[in-house]
């Protein structure tokens, strides 16, 4: 829906520019750095709109590339952090398993002593 509204607004803007250009067909003097020339106003208006659109589009493209580069860099950082956390979790799990296995060994050892004590009596 958002794209449709953008397209409709672009068409309305293009229609307004076209109407404004067709109304103003008188020749005008355009001054360059190295001289001047007579151009129909319609060409000056359309040329100005075209150059403005190219400038705005170029700025937009540069911004999109910067954002894509930032997304790529942040995605890489996120993967690095997740890998680091995974390694830390495995290390912590190994440390937790160590004492628990010792406790289990103690429990087994204690039970065997209790059985020996019962059989000795």
Judge contact between 38 and 28, C-beta under 8 A: yes
pLDDT of 100:
53
DSSP output for 71-120: HHHHHHHHHHHHHHHHHHHHHHHHHHHHHHHHHHHHHHHHHHHHHHHHHH
72, two tokens: 């790529």
pLDDT score of 118 more than 90? no
Task: Find the helix or strand (DSSP H, E) in which 29 lies.
Answer: strand 27-31
**27: closest CA among 45, 39, 42?**
39
**pTM, whole model, 2 decimals?**
0.54
* Maximum mean pLDDT: which of 45-49, 103-107, 108-112: 45-49
């Amino acid at each position: 829906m958002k794209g449709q509204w953008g397209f409709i607004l672009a068409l309305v803007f293009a229609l307004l520019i076209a109407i404004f250009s067709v109304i103003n067909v008188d020749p005008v003097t355009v001054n360059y750095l190295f001289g001047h020339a007579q151009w129909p106003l319609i060409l000056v208006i359309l040329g100005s709109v075209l150059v403005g659109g190219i400038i705005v589009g170029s700025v937009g493209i540069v911004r999109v590339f910067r954002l894509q580069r930032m997304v790529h860099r942040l995605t890489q950082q996120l993967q690095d952090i997740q890998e680091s956390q995974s390694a830390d979790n495995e290390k912590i799990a190994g440390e937790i398993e160590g004492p628990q296995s010792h406790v289990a060994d103690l429990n087994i050892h204690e039970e065997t002593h209790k059985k020996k004590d019962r059989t000795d009596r």
